[in-house]
Amino acid sequence: MLLPSFDYYHPQSLPEALSLLGEMGDQARPLAGGTDLLVNLKLKKLAPKVLLDLSGLEELQGNGTDEGLVSLGALNTASRLASGGPEVPGLLAMGAGSLGSPQVRNRATLGGNLVTARPAADICLPLLALGARVVLAGPSGQRQVSLDGYFKGPGYTVKEPGEILTHVLLDAPRPGVGGGYQKLGLRQAMEIALVNVAAHLELEDDGKTVALARVALGAVAPFPMLSPGAAQVLQGAPAGEKIFTEAAEAAAAEARPIDDHRGSAAYRRDMVRTLTLRALRQALSQAQGSKEEQA
């Protein structure tokens, strides 16, 4: 399968990339891992005149922690995130590790997954549950956007064509916090989820009461969505089967699945209930585990 013709630019700094992007407008597309963009070019879904390869931008590389806040560069590959490390929350590592195949994970990037914004995106769901924010750099400076409000539709976000997603910001992993990720597909690799759920739990010092919870649902709305109902049920309640079942019920009620060739809406709604329950159990076990480790 052939690529259409385009010009290729390889800027060496963020200002250079932004200025090229400003000059060329929507004729240009930033290129990160290429696992979506190059496929879309080959399938003739997109025909940009210019590809701006972001791999030379130092500003988009590397991770750091500052005062309890982790900053992850947009060019982190899914493989790098899946291998974890002190800055990467377990929930994000789980999602990144379930994306595509090893070859795809070695190229696909954090920023690419967020900009491509598919409804079942394996990196987007954990980040949404983790309460992440993205940093968008544009001609008039930087802005931060909470992920809850970033997604607008399949492949469509609040990012303007002249902007480049440079970083993701989230709370540093800490004791008493746990995550669960559940992905349902017809096969175990190279799969777009039929339904996927990411759950994030923060426990009070008693190791039992839920201080804060977020449940993110994938493939059941035009974009990755949070379930406010599930969060509300969980907050302030003692973590356990009773409250998890109620939260799963709330998540299923809020999901907005459609019938398609991969599964029916009714089946997807049932699976939201099941996967939410499993993800919450997994999150609790991780949260309590991290608490014991500290003690």
Partner 1 sequence: MSKQAITLTVNGVARQALVEPNQTLTSLLRDELGLTGTKHGCGVGDCGCCTVILDNETVNSCLVLAMQAQGREVLTIEGLAKGAELHPLQQAFVDAGAIQCGFCTPGMILSAKALLERTPRPSREEITKGLSGNLCRCTGYEKIVEAVQDAADKMSEA
Q: Which residues bind partner 1 (CB under 8 A)?
A: 1-8, 10, 31, 34-35, 38-39, 42-43, 51, 53, 55, 79, 100-104, 106-107, 188-190
**CB nearer to partner 1: pick between 36 and 202:** 36
Whole-number minimum distance, CB 197 to partner 1, in Å? Answer: 22
User: 48 is written with which tokens?
Assistant: 């940009």
d(CA 244, CA 211): 14
- Length in residues, the chain: 295
Whole-number minimum distance, CB 123 to partner 1, in Å? Answer: 17
Whole-number minimum distance, CB 196 to partner 1, in Å? Answer: 17
**CB nearer to partner 1: pick between 16 and 171:** 16
**CB nearer to partner 1: pick between 39 and 186:** 39
- Backbone dihedral region of 209: left (phi > 0), alpha (psi from -120 to 50 degrees) or beta? beta
**CB nearer to partner 1: pick between 3 and 295:** 3
Q: Are strands 210-218 and 195-203 parallel, antiparallel or unpaired?
A: antiparallel
**CB nearer to partner 1: pick between 7 and 260:** 7
Phi then psi for 252, rounded to 5 degrees? -60, -35
Whole-number minimum distance, CB 106 to partner 1, in Å? Answer: 4
Whole-number minimum distance, CB 290 to partner 1, in Å? Answer: 25
Q: Within its chain, how far is the Cα of 26 from the centroid?
A: 25
d(CA 12, CA 58): 8
d(CA 241, CA 189): 30
Half-sphere exposure of 147 (CA within 13 A, CB side): 27
Do residues 235 and 212 touch, judged by C-beta distance below 8 A? yes
- Say how many C-beta atoms besides its own lie within 10 A of residue 163's C-beta: 22
Whole-number minimum distance, CB 35 to partner 1, in Å? Answer: 6
**CB nearer to partner 1: pick between 35 and 63:** 35
**CB nearer to partner 1: pick between 39 and 266:** 39
Using CA atoms, how far residue 121 sits from 22, 155, 247, 271, 285, in Å, is 28, 10, 22, 17, 24
Whole-number minimum distance, CB 60 to partner 1, in Å? Answer: 15
Do residues 290 and 178 touch, judged by C-beta distance below 8 A? yes
